[in-house]
Amino acid sequence: MVEETSEESKASIEKAIEAISSLISLSHSIKSFNIKWQLIRTKLEELYSGLAALENLNSGFDPSLSSLISAILISLKDTYDLATRCVNVSYSGKLLMQSDLDVVAGKFDRHTRNLSRIYSAGILSHGFAIVVSKPNGNACKDDMRFYIRDLLTRMKIGDLEMKKQALVKLNEAMGEDDRYVKIVTEISDMVNILVAFLDSEMGIQEESAKAVFFISGFGSYRGVLIRSGVIGPLVWVLENGNGVAREASARCLMKLTENSENAWSVSAHGGVSALLKICSCSEFGGELIGTSCGVLRNLVGVEEIKRYMTEEDDTVATFIKLIGSKEEIVQVNSIDLLLSMCRKDEQTRDILVREGGIQELVSVLSDPNSLSSSKSKEMALRAIDNLCFGSAGCLNALMSCKFLDHLLNLLRNGEISVQESALKVTSRLCSLQEEVKRIMGDAGFMPELVKFLDAKSLDVREMASVALYCLISVPKNRKKFAQDDFNISHILQLLDHEDGSNVSSDSGNTKFLISILMSLTSCNSARRKIATSGYLKSIEKLAETEGSDAKKLVKKLSMNRFRSILSGIWHT
């Protein structure tokens, strides 16, 4: 008897599903009462998804379900009659038809709620629920939209496991095709439901946090999240969620706080304290800590929030400690955060120096230091470049921890991107007082700078030329530079426009090289090497096209040659 009832109920469900599908198709041909029928279609799609989940159920059916299916079939018959009358325009009056349509929309809404209650009561086992197949990559928008609506219905009426399953499928769809993200934001209530799920059972919370993060990755959809009140729940997940949910929440907040207008909302919901707590707790993973630093980096763009963070005990010291992390995301984001906190803030910069922040930055550059990636080294060099040259205290701390040794090593052995960052800092150092230049000359910076003079990048060539010009402005450095025949010979080769191997002849860098040679002529030994090098005709040719600096160089070298001739005559 039970088996017969089960078969009869299955047949009723199939009949209801077919009727809904037919009614939806018919409704698209109706030209009147568009808004009413759009609402009815939405209700029918939700009900369709709920019933489709029952098709694979092979156990006995509860009487309440059978009763509900019967009521649905009656409502569908009544609605089909209304649809036929609307198509044929055979109704007696518009107001009466509008009232009838409102009534059936309300019925379908009640049917969906009743079905949800049956699911929630556990009468139906989620294990038998069929998930509608995701459309293929060439599917039209309507098919994709139907699939997402089906998942939404399962989120509304399913038990916890069905809700989670629907969220997993949703995340898979959004991860594979960006068009699903747009559809999610367009369907009424869907984002609101995802946000509401952030305050739910751990598995559902985790998947909903991932879904919200997917959406936040698109700048044009972030406003939908904000209007749905997502920031408060995200902060709650930061404080109470599991590891995966917290990471997704932090990544989402990092995206949302790229707009400084959202920073105050994060602060108002206690987000600053929650983020600081994460950064100060070693129990959390590097991904969560690093992303939390990234969120705080966005928040300190608001002066009041930055002031609050600075005034908190040990905040700066916490971030300094994170510089020594083994994970790149923590190193990079903590350095970037400190850089933002110290910019235009002498008090915070003083704390940085006092707490050993400069030493930590230099330690990132140390060799060997396999713990620090190229990106970490670049960020450390950027921080040093921005922080240390406008403060005597920072500069003194920098020079006292063997920074020049590490910088020179990066120029010699670093990856290309790191070398360029190191060269930029070197150029800044070369603009400082003469004592610093003298130390750099003794340390061996000049030969390394010469190697960059024929680099492919124009910016690199110019930085190297300017830095070298500054260094040889010191008499002791000029003399040291001239002692290595390769240094002068290499510069002269770069200036030789007739040398086919010269990659820099038309680079616009010529004027810097001429300035270096002009400075070298103040050194007798260097001047003689230039004058007797065999490149004098090339320099004279340059003087015809390169302007006054080249002409001055030719004049100075010619005077030297004239003196040499006179000296030879005198001695004979």
The CATH number that applies at residue 96 is 1.20.930
pLDDT-derived band at 380, boundaries 50, 70, 90 = very high
The burial class, CB within 10 Å (0-12 / 13-18 / 19+), for 116 is: middle
pLDDT digit string, tens, across residues 246-269: 999 999 999 999 998 999 999 999
Task: Return the pLDDT at 11.
Answer: 82
Contact 496, 502 (CB under 8 A): yes
pLDDT of 14 > 60? The answer is: yes
DSSP secondary structure letter of residue 59 = S
The answer to whether 92 and 99 are in contact (CB under 8 A) is no
Closest CA to 360 of 339, 346, 345: 339
The Cα 256–Cα 212 span in angstroms is 11
pLDDT over 60 at 171, yes or no: yes
Answer whether residue 151 is part of any domain: yes
Q: Which of 86-90, 158-162, 535-539 has the lowest mean pLDDT?
A: 535-539
Q: Which long-range contacts (CB under 8 A, 24 or more apart) does 550-556 make?
A: 550/514, 552/518, 553/514, 553/517, 553/518, 553/521, 556/518, 556/521, 556/527
Domain membership flag for residue 36:
yes
Q: Mean pLDDT throughout 22-44?
A: 89
Mean pLDDT to the nearest integer, 457-472: 92
Instruction: Read off the pLDDT of each residue in 535-547 and give the average, rounded to a whole number.
Output: 69
Q: How much is the mean pLDDT over the chain?
A: 85
DSSP string, 66-123: HHHHHHHHHHHHHHHHHHHHHHHT--S-HHHHHHHHHHHHHHHHHHHHHHHHHHHTT-
Q: Which of 27-31, 97-101, 198-202, 389-393 has the weakest average pLDDT?
A: 389-393
How far apart are alpha carbons 514 and 492 in whole angstroms?
Answer: 9
pLDDT attached to residue 469: 92
* Top-confidence residue, 124 or 99: 99
- CB-based contact 82:100 (threshold 8 Å): yes
> Do 109 and 193 belong together in one domain?
no
Query: Looking at the domain assignment, is residue 21 inside a domain?
Result: yes
Looking at the fold, whether 1 and 117 belong to one and the same domain comes out as: yes
Are residues 117 and 150 both part of a single domain? no
Lowest-confidence region among 133-147, 464-478, 537-551: 537-551
Task: Show which of 89, 121, 153 is a domain's final residue.
Answer: 121
- The answer on pLDDT for 570 being more than 80 is no
pLDDT in tens, 408-451: 999 999 899 999 999 999 999 999 999 999 999 999 999 999 99
**To 5 degrees, how large is the angle CA 124–CA 130–CA 131?**
125
Q: Are 109 and 44 in contact (CB under 8 A)?
A: no
> Angle, nearest 10°, between helix axes 403-413 and 357-365?
30
> What is the predicted pLDDT for the residue at 55?
61
The average pLDDT across 536-552 equals 69
Q: Is the pLDDT of residue 367 over 60?
A: no
Contact 74, 139 (CB under 8 A): no
Residues 31 and 79 both lie in one domain: yes
Residue 113 has pLDDT above 60, yes or no: yes
Q: Is 131 contained in some domain?
A: no
**Residue after which a domain boundary falls, among 63, 87, 121:** 121
- Which backbone phi and psi does 133 adopt, to 5 degrees? -65, 140
Three-state DSSP state, 463 = helix
Q: 68 with 116, same domain?
A: yes
Q: What is the pLDDT of residues 178-191, one digit of tens each?
A: 999 999 999 878 99
Does residue 108 sit in the same domain as residue 159?
no
- Average pLDDT of the residues in 27-47: 88
pLDDT of 128 above 50: no
Answer whether residue 406 is part of any domain: no
Pull the structure tokens for residue 120.
């929630």
Model confidence at 485, pLDDT cuts 50, 70, 90, reads confident
Mean pLDDT, to the nearest integer, of 227-251?
95
- Specify whether 108 is located in the same domain as 163: no
Of residues 193, 181, 277, 297, the one with CA closest to residue 235: 277
* 499 has pLDDT over 60: no
- The C-alpha atoms of residue 419 and residue 411 are separated, in whole angstroms, by 5
368 confidence band (pLDDT: 50, 70, 90):
low
Residue type, 153: T
Q: Which two tokens stand for residue 315?
A: 């905040």
Q: Are residues 89 and 149 in the same domain?
A: no
pLDDT tens, 292-335?
A: 999 999 999 999 999 999 888 789 999 999 999 989 999 999 99
Of 150, 239, 235, 168, nearest to 208 by C-alpha is: 168
Whether residues 186 and 77 fall in one domain: no
CA 377 to chain centre: 19
507: confidence class by pLDDT, cuts 50, 70, 90: very low
Structural domain including 210 reads 144-258
Assign residue 158 the CATH number of its domain.
1.25.10.10
Characterize 491-520 residue by residue with b for buried, 16 or more Cβ atoms within 10 angstroms of its Cβ, and e for exposed: bbbbbbeeeeeeebbebebbebbbbbbbbb
Q: Is the pLDDT of residue 61 over 60?
A: no
Identify the pLDDT of residue 56.
53
- Domains contained in the chain, number: 2
Answer yes or no: do 7 and 113 share one domain.
yes
Give the per-residue pLDDT at 370: 56
Q: Supply angle C-alpha 514, 533, 520, rounded to 5.
A: 40
Residue 502 is predicted with a pLDDT of 44
Listed in sequence order, the residues at least 6 apart from 265 whose beta carbon sits closer than 8 Å to its beta carbon are 226, 231, 232
What lies within 8 Å, CB to CB, of 132 at 6+ separation is: 49, 52, 146, 147, 150
3-state secondary structure of 259: coil
Which of 258, 276, 297 delimits the end of a domain? 258
Query: Is 4 inside any structural domain?
Result: yes
Does any domain span residue 214?
yes
Predicted confidence (pLDDT) at residue 58 exceeds the cutoff of 60: no
**Domain contains 382:** no
Asked whether the predicted pLDDT for residue 59 surpasses 50, the reply is: no
**Secondary structure percentages of the chain, helix, strand, coil, to 5:** 75, 0, 25
The verdict on 92 and 185 lying in the same domain is no
Would you give the end-to-end CA distance of the chain in angstroms? 135
Which pLDDT band holds residue 568 (cuts at 50, 70, 90)?
very low
46 and 104 both lie in a single domain: yes
